[in-house]
Structure 1
Amino acid sequence: MKTSRLRYVWILVMLGSLLLFQPNANPAPAVQANNGNVLVNGDFEAEDPATHGFIWFPPNHFLALNWYRWWVNMPAANTMIPEYDDMRPGTLRWPPYSGRHAQVYFKWGANYQAGVYQVVENLTPCVPYEFSMYVNSRGNAGTVPHTRIGLDLQGTQITLDHDHNDLIGGQMPPRTAWSAEQTILTTWERLATTAEPLGTRLTAITYANPSYTGDQDAWYDTWWDNGALVQVGFPNGKLPEPTSWNSSYINSASVQYTFDGDNLRLSWNTTGPASTQVWYQTMSTAQITTPPPMSHTMFLPLIMRADIWQATALNPTPTTSHSVSIPGMQSLQSGDKIIVRLLSRHPTADACVTEGYGNIEIVKP
């Protein structure tokens, strides 16, 4: 009898646990595959052993591991600082977008200009990275969320440390690429922006500056979850076209080529480290024919060949010595032409720039 009673109690405990930790019918997994995400704890699921959740910071904030707080509080009176918390099981702010945790900050009365950020290291310069995150903003009907996310191209540390969270200078870095703003209240919405690092760092920033004009007492909630920073390709796999095809950054005297079986191998040097790509076209001598002589005048329509360039796979690793192989040479006939353009992309003080050199006309022997 005692054994049956214990078994009954145990079943009730298990059912209670399921109800507590499974608020959705089909919850997303708490830990997901990285899938190229270079954010550290981008999904906010990492737990501090002491709290089984976020880390506590004064005055009474809970912050996700590997993230920093920032806010604008001028003049300094603590009136503009929201409260940071962990969206965790058993709280009023539940459920997150997925898993068991999400970063939230909120405030009654005065609004705020605040967020969290992370400086991401060991990135490849001048290749695009997409930063995305889901946001859910709440407040009175008529509240404007003014939430967005950004990527600072220079990887700036925008506060001094965990204890000094005022945004340095009260301004965001000027070279921040921002997403569009959230448009709907009380809905999880995915925001995204893309940028190329000028070095090996990017700063991923969440931003919220909600506002409300109305008769009710204002209150604001901003929830963030499922952040990701992943390397993405250029459109159509091609570097952005350069402004000139006679760049001195590419040493024209260093350009060499050779036919090697089915490949045309090209090499060149650049003034500084840059990425590597070749655009090319092939032109068959069979395409060029001489019309027969005519004793009368005939007007024929002008047919222009589309300026379509194939591209080799981009090698994003910065280097001063570049080499590329173009396949498919055995299908060409002797005398056929390969027109090539050399491209290398590198950072300047303000932006990433594509350098180009061409057209180079190569005849198959």
Structure 2
Amino acid sequence: MRRLAYIRALLLVGLLLAQSRPAAAQTNLIRNPGFEAPYSAWGGIGPIQVAHEWTPWWSEQPDHNPPWYRPEWKPAEAQFFPNRVLSGERAQQWFTFHASHYAGMYQQVFNVVPGVRYQFSVYAQVWSSVEDDPYPSVLPANPRLQIGIDPTGNWNAFSGDIVWSGEAPMNAVIDQWGYMVVEATAQNNVITVFMKTSPDFANKHNDTYWDNANLIVAGQAPPPTNTPAPPTPIPSDTPVPPPTAVPSDTPVPPPTAVPSDTPVPPPTNTPAPATATLPPTATLPPTNTPIPPTETPEPTATEPPPTETPAPTNTATATATVEVILETIEPTEGPTALPAATEVVAADSGGSGAVAEPGEATGNPPAAVEEADSTAASSTILVVLVGGLALVLTVVVLLLVWRRITGAG
């Protein structure tokens, strides 16, 4: 009995020990998760130095807004930039200088189990600045970091099958390590993991650093590492469709990475428009200033005085006076003028030279009366002509005055 009790006690202790033992951490399925050496020129292109087991991808679209150019890939060395390497001796870096990009890396993972949900995680850090000082970033561009899993195993970074994480918040990755994670259920015995960056604008420095990638079965403990405990992972499980990009699967490398110097860094341009565009809005007074001429049309206001004071029109007394003259001349008191006329006639007729008395008949009375009548008629015609000329002159003066008034208006 005592022996049986002893055996039971041993079994109980063994059971308790078995229950208290932590579950064994599962194996990381990523090959070269720390992006360690060796590095080699991918496709023989010198500026594309990639850690072994990884493949770069990019989209080169100079007409895109912002323009996308091929980045440069190289190792970040802990001995030179310890803050850019999370663990080990190296981290993978890619960047553009005075340019933006749409680029990343991928790795195909084989021998996975279809129907099993897998979790991909990685650490990332960004240096985006208009200055050359590596810390802190000045006027950073939003890097739009994402990671993804293609559950079908396709390596095309523009496939609609990729399950993308949400974009990492800027404050989680600028000048510090941010932890990113995404999950997807395998549909094949191979899946592909992706990393992607797409800065908002062409900054002077758009650099990204990646380290400590992991691919495990979702819900199980990740393999132990020497890295610090990850912060709250950047969500999300929901697939985010990638942006519509038209590039081919096989990237065509440009001659060199130098074209990245051509674009002008927008940080300097971007802040400026905000301040520059405000003055034009403030200086809208030019639009209001033309109004005063319309509101103060003093020329129009001054038109009435000339019209009201056409003294020439009212002082057409010239015509009135001419008429008066004509009227005063018309009542011919010819009989009084006749004696003078008869005197002249009598003297010229070669008579006795005696002056005829009024009422006395002369030697040739009909001719004298006729001549007197013609003299009176001539005087009347002359007066009429003078009056007509005065009327014409008055009309001309009035026309000139009127034209002057209407011309001034």
TM-score range, shorter chain: 0.3 to 0.5
| TM-score normalised by structure 1 residue count | 0.46
| TM-score normalised by structure 2 residue count | 0.41
Greater strand content: 1
Greater helix content: 2
